[in-house]
Amino acid sequence: MIEFQSMFPVVVAPNLAAIKQFYVSAFGFEAVFYDPSFYLHLVSPSSGVQLGFLIPNHPTQPDFLHTKMAAEGVVISLEVQDATNAFAEAKAMNLNIVMPIKEEWGQIHFMVEDPAGMRIDIVEHIEQPEH
């Protein structure tokens, strides 16, 4: 068995500067490594969540990492304590809201889209009444 210390996605996407700005300003991530010609690594100081972004067509990477990620079918979920408040903050920051806030499946959630085209589901889990 291979033991690991953490897990995070690495997304192949252009415009690392816009992606960095989005995650730092909207969610408080810190850029722990940033070379705009190559790679961006983000860490949330409050939760330890990590995200990596790799520029497409970088000559040091294998061919299968040259293609920009297709954002369709990919959702990143970020759990929050208060989705209603987070929704108000997202609107105030003029984030690209691609799904309005709603309550379903024991959650209150909404989705925004980042500069790479990925959808981010902002989720608050709520208590379900027992049947």
- pLDDT at residue 69 is higher than 80: no
Tokens of 4: 């690991």
Q: Which residues contact 9 (CB under 8 A, 6 or more apart)?
A: 51, 52, 76
Report how far residue 71's alpha carbon sits from residue 117's, in angstroms, rounded to the nearest whole number: 6
Length of the chain: 131
Contact 5, 50 (CB under 8 A): no
Name which residue leads in pLDDT, 32 or 68.
32
Q: Using a pLDDT cut of 90, give the percent of the chain over it.
A: 73
Q: Does pTM surpass 0.85?
A: yes
Tens-place pLDDT, residues 91-121: 999 999 999 999 988 999 999 999 999 999 9
pLDDT for the residue 122: 96
Q: Using a pLDDT cut of 70, give the percent of the chain over it.
A: 97
Over range 1-16, report the average pLDDT: 90
